[in-house]
Amino acid sequence: MSSRQALGQAAFFVVSFAPFLVSASPAPTAFVNNNDVSPPFPAITPSPVEKNPSPVVQRDILSDVESDVNNVLSSLGSDLPSWVASGVPNYFQNFPTGDAVASSLGLKSSDLAALPTNVLNIDPYANWTNSGWNVRFHGNVYKQPNTSVADLNKLANVFLIDTKIADLPESQQEQARNLTAEIFVVQQPHVAVNTIHLEPAASQGSSGQPGGGGSSHTTGGWQNVTLPYNTTAEGDFDVFVPIASNGLTAGNKTSAIQRLNTHVDGASIGNATAYLVPPTGLTVVSDIDDILRITKIYEPKEGLFNSFAKAFTPWENMPLIYSNWSSSLPNMHFHYLTTTPEQVTRNYMQFIYSTYPGGSFDTRPLNFSDVSATLSIRKFLLQKIFETFPQRKFILIADTSNSDVMRDYPEMATEFPGQVQCIFLRNTSATDSGDKFPYDTSGFKNLPQSQYMFFLNPDDLSNLDIANGECYNKSIPQNLTFSYQGLPFGLGKHSGAGGGLSTREVVGASSLMALVASMLTAAFMFL
């Protein structure tokens, strides 16, 4: 596809999309959570920064596409294209929020007032401090409009390339509508998060895998907590709150993880598990896309299909590797840290908790939504968990298709000396010829091979004594140049375009990705 065709399609898309979004669903009359005004919880650790809403990015998308294409053209044979340096174009960008959703669905404030309040309660971790257990509650308060199936179908079609929701089997249609509905929610700014009920969790049940803190017997913790701050302008909350012991075991008297059920009042689906993690031990920090599930984020069309229509599918036998770690190292803490947008968190949690060991969770909060913030969020979340558990050691896992991972993981090893036990990176281009995205290995230059491994299949991780620092499987050849590798189409800093695909193909591939990004942004701009 030429750049002109790509631009033409993006423009066509904008025009044809706008008329879809007109009908509003009748407002349901339902339970309203009136957020009673309770006094703030007395003892507080760091306050969430109140921020202005992130500006809705309304750049001139079409000219951006054009300039990306021009950058690729002008950089052939010389420098790296800009989209290479910034990593995989993130098409999970610029989802509409708050008022934009309300107005696109034609919701009036009286409609909204009648909707029940819901809470996304993201499974938190807690550290042990001088004032006891300190739980990092984080999530979002929102209202779920009762959007008609017809409207959801129209909106879902935005996320599907070369196919329409009507052509999919019913289960995939449902998945696409569910995800779309999750995105089209109305976040609730400046409201209180009232009464989170805590109680000991039973050992992990039949779904998912045991371990991951699930095997420990939790003896107390019953209490009700009110968060000290109202939600941010985006409806988010993220705050450490010290909780009363009420029969919990002190963090310095156990190496086991205790688990509390946390249930937010008035939110039928706002249940999560809090993981009370002792000061010392091992924590796995794991990315999800293309390491725990098949996403193929580096192939936009498939990536979107795998995210929006197909049931989430584990990557090869990774569940067995985690299951073994979880059962053979029962005090291991699992923390799932993905930069996928907060809106789709529930789908990721559902998949993880039915496939991998239970654990705490982080996704990308709404105030990290512009492109530069998107590339800095992983580091922000990594720093937060390293600072919360300064004596624990971390095993960091992801794949090579994330430029932020390639930069941040090795940086953690130097910035937090002694805290990184292992770095495991799946080399996605080794097993997937469709991955044309380059990755930068320069961050690993000063790390000893014993601390990291680029691997091909989950089996490469088997039989490693990770607890004792065995991170490298000697049968897996490593080939690091400590610079950009896997450059697409034979493109290289010094090699020019020789030997690879033609200029036209390079432009074609680049504009497909730019096209996806521009479709989404353009669609939301016209809501």
Ligand X SMILES: *[C@@H]1O[C@H](CO)[C@@H](O)[C@H](O)[C@H]1NC(C)=O
Binding-site member from 170, 479, 494, 498 for ligand X (CB under 6 A): 479
User: At 20, phi and psi to the nearest 5?
Assistant: -65, -40
User: At 476, phi and psi to the nearest 5?
Assistant: -105, 110
Which residue reads 């329409």 in tokens?
Answer: 164
- Between 157 and 441, CB nearer to ligand X: 441
Q: CB of residue 258 vs ligand X: minimum separation in angstroms?
A: 15
Q: Does 144 bind ligand X (CB under 6 A)?
A: no
CB 259 within 8 A of CB 214: yes
Q: Does 322 bind ligand X (CB under 6 A)?
A: no
Q: Does 485 bind ligand X (CB under 6 A)?
A: yes
**Alpha carbon separation from 336 to 125, 212, 287, 455 (Å, rounded):** 11, 11, 6, 20
> Which span (61-69, 102-110, 402-410, 458-466) binds ligand X, by CB under 6 A?
458-466
CB 237 within 8 A of CB 229: yes
Query: CB neighbours (10 Å) of residue 504?
Result: 11
DSSP 263: E
Q: Does 209 bind ligand X (CB under 6 A)?
A: no
Q: Report d(CA 124, CA 158) in Å as an integer.
A: 33
Among 422, 423, 421, 382, residue whose Cα is nearest residue 399? 423
What are the beta bridge partners of residue 492? 496
Count of residues that interact with ligand X, criterion CB under 6 A? 69
DSSP 27-75: PPP--------PPPPSS--SPPPP-PPPPP----HHHHHHHHHHHHHHH
Tell me the residue nearest to ligand X as measured from the CB. 28
Q: CB of residue 369 vs ligand X: minimum separation in angstroms?
A: 9
Q: Does 367 bind ligand X (CB under 6 A)?
A: yes
Beta strands 132-143; 236-242: pairing state: antiparallel
Q: Does 329 bind ligand X (CB under 6 A)?
A: yes
Binding-site member from 38, 70, 203, 328 for ligand X (CB under 6 A): 328
Which residues inside 263-292 make contact with ligand X, applying CB under 6 A? Answer: 263, 269, 271
Cα dihedral sign for 400, 402, 407, 412?
negative
Q: Does 316 bind ligand X (CB under 6 A)?
A: no
Q: CB of residue 455 vs ligand X: minimum separation in angstroms?
A: 8
Q: Does 127 bind ligand X (CB under 6 A)?
A: yes
Binding-site member from 101, 464, 513, 522 for ligand X (CB under 6 A): 464
Which residues inside 382-401 make contact with ligand X, applying CB under 6 A? Answer: 387-388, 390
- Footprint on this chain of ligand X (rule: CB under 6 A): 25-26, 28, 35, 37, 48-49, 51, 127, 129-130, 134, 146, 148, 171, 174-175, 178, 190-192, 197, 222-224, 230, 232, 236, 238, 240, 250, 252, 261, 263, 269, 271, 324-325, 328-329, 365, 367-368, 373, 387-388, 390, 427, 429-430, 441, 454, 457, 459-460, 462-467, 473, 475-476, 478-481, 485
